[in-house]
Chain A
Amino acid sequence: MKLMRKLAFLAVAILGLGTTGASADKLDKILSKGKIRCGVVLDFPPMGYRDAKNKPAGFDVEYCKDLAKALGVKLELKSMSFAQRLPALNAGKVDVVIGSTSDTLERAKSAGFTMPYFVFKLQVMTKKDSGIKTFEDLKGKKVTAALSTTPETEFLKNAKSMGWDSAKYFSSKSESDTHLALLQGKADAIVTTDTTIAELLKLPKYKDYVAGPFVPNYDDFVSIIAKRTEYGLINYMNLFIHQQVRTGRYKELNKMFYGNSPVRQLTVDGIYY
């Protein structure tokens, strides 16, 4: 009897280990729960936005769906702002964020980045008669970009290296606030991604506006992010991104959201990621 009890105890202990083992990583947890929580930013069309029925839509949303499908689990979308991406990951509110996160080396000290899944060009948008033809023409102009985004960082970096007085630069809280500032004439120019500008120019209220010069020497590669320590998950997502391109899904989504503009190359000359 005593032996039986000991054996039973051992069996329970082993079973317990199997389910709550310390070695279960995020990927294990996602698979065993049957659900992945995916963070998206929905004020950044066409990567993330709400459609006419107020449902989340966009390139990033499609990628979340594809990722859940590949994993064979259910998807829970969580909408967030650019600034909330990292806190949400660290607080365990989401498992991954597909939110156009620029892959800087500084940020990679804090978050785990996959290989790039998309690439932007940073571009200036102005009024037609602004006289801003080159990036250098922005000197002394009222310029705005969304606070805490790569367009802001890159503009300020360039302004500093050219020795401009950036006193006339101001931050806006969100992408949509920069658009409002441009329309109201608070700003002569905004710095954002080429995709956003193309999207805005489709709207009638921007008929007097044009896409201006690009921010020099910068390709804004963006990655999916997860907690820095979740190698298993990041590894899986690297393969996922690779397969999205290989299976033609990447091209298909490019066409769906960017029409006939050329499919963006995710490679750089001279090196494979």
Chain B
Amino acid sequence: MFDFDYTFHWITVWNVFPEMLSAALVTIEVAVTSMIIGLIIAVFLSLGKDSKNEFYRTPSVIWIEIARNTPALFQIYMAYFGLGAFGIHLSPYIAVLAALVFNNAGYLAETLRGGFAAIPNTQMSASRSLGMTQFQTYRHIILPQVLRIVYHPMTNQMIWAILMTSLGTLVGMLELTGKTDQLQSLSFRTFEFYLVAAVMYFIIAKMVLLGSKLLAHKLFKGDIS
């Protein structure tokens, strides 16, 4: 049976809306930073996984395997309380950021590896025979193509990163979810606060996607639909 008898008090939310907005900024900040650092590391991890050098391949494989096959929640908890057990005390902010970098790098590495695999080996041979160094080849020939190929799967990870920041509340980080939790406990207007937070997450995800679309348009000169 459906009996809905609840009177919404939106004013309680608007009174503290500025606090929610600044918490949303923290969410965006952590997601975007973790994505950028994660992407840079992912390039090295994906190359490492295919490397013939044992000392480069093994750590890359371990990183990717752990990052992809354990819950993000566990990774955040380990960065906070796990390292804490060894006397390394990261603040909630840094712990969540580190865990998300770890997670993003692992996933993006596999995405990128797929991208690298799509580029024929002959391109490397061709550019080397034209006198380019290996670095130059990656920088000017291979990476620009790979980034175009992996653009769409990468935006998926971007959204995932935004939504994963909400796990930060488990180590007491006051991003959008944590702040919402704190604010609703003062007034017990739970539904109102969480509904507003959900809408804010939606808008953030859309905004970040739009941003990356504009960036891609500029970088890839219209190669991405």
Chain A residues in contact with chain B, CB under 8 A?
82-83, 86-87, 90, 92, 104, 106-107, 109-111, 144, 147-149, 152-153, 170-173, 177, 180-181, 184-186, 229
A145: min CB distance to chain B, Å: 9
CB of A148 within 8 A of CB of B92, answer: no
CB of A110 within 8 A of CB of B187, answer: yes
Secondary structure at chain B's binding surface: helix, strand, loop or mixed? helix
Chain B neighbourhood of A153, CB < 8 A? 185-186
9 nearest interchain CB pairs?
A: A148-B185, A110-B188, A171-B172, A184-B84, A86-B188, A107-B188, A172-B172, A87-B190, A86-B190
- Interface stretch, picked from B27-35, B129-137, B176-184, B205-213, is B176-184
CB of B84 within 8 A of CB of A186, answer: yes
CB of B187 within 8 A of CB of A177, answer: no
* Contact sample, A vs B, 22 pairs, CB 8 Å cutoff: A83-B185, A86-B188, A87-B191, A92-B3, A104-B186, A106-B186, A106-B188, A109-B187, A110-B187, A111-B188, A147-B169, A147-B178, A147-B181, A148-B181, A149-B185, A170-B91, A171-B174, A171-B178, A172-B171, A177-B81, A184-B84, A184-B89
**Which of B84, B171, B186, B190 is packed against the most chain A CB atoms within 10 Å?**
B190
B169: min CB distance to chain A, Å: 7
Residue of B nearest to A172 (CB): B172
| Cross-chain pair count, CB within 8 angstroms | 76
- A104 and B188 alpha carbons, distance in the complex (Å): 10
| CB < 8 Å neighbour of A110 from B3, B91, B92, B189 | B189
B165: min CB distance to chain A, Å: 15
B6 within 8 A of A: yes
Chain B residues in contact with chain A, CB under 8 A?
3, 5-6, 9, 12, 81, 84-85, 87, 89, 91-92, 169-174, 178, 181-182, 184-191
**Which of A106, A185, A186 is packed against the most chain B CB atoms within 10 Å?**
A186
B106: min CB distance to chain A, Å: 24
Chain A neighbourhood of B178, CB < 8 A? 147, 171
Chain B neighbourhood of A147, CB < 8 A? 169, 172, 178, 181-182, 185
CB of B188 within 8 A of CB of A144, answer: no
Secondary structure at chain A's binding surface: helix, strand, loop or mixed? mixed
State whether A186 and B185 are in contact (beta carbons under 8 Å apart), knowing that A171-B172, A173-B170 are contacts in the complex.
no
**Which of A86, A111, A152 is packed against the most chain B CB atoms within 10 Å?**
A86
CB of B188 within 8 A of CB of A173, answer: no
A136: min CB distance to chain B, Å: 24
B24: min CB distance to chain A, Å: 17
| CB < 8 Å neighbour of A186 from B6, B89, B189, B191 | B89
- A120 and B171 alpha carbons, distance in the complex (Å): 26
- A92 and B172 alpha carbons, distance in the complex (Å): 28
Residue of B nearest to A142 (CB): B89
- A179 and B184 alpha carbons, distance in the complex (Å): 24
Chain B neighbourhood of A148, CB < 8 A? 181-182, 184-185
CB of A107 within 8 A of CB of B171, answer: no
CB of B189 within 8 A of CB of A83, answer: no
Chain A neighbourhood of B6, CB < 8 A? 90
State whether A229 and B172 are in contact (beta carbons under 8 Å apart), knowing that A86-B188, A152-B182, A185-B87 are contacts in the complex.
no
A150: min CB distance to chain B, Å: 9
B109: min CB distance to chain A, Å: 30
Chain B neighbourhood of A181, CB < 8 A? 84
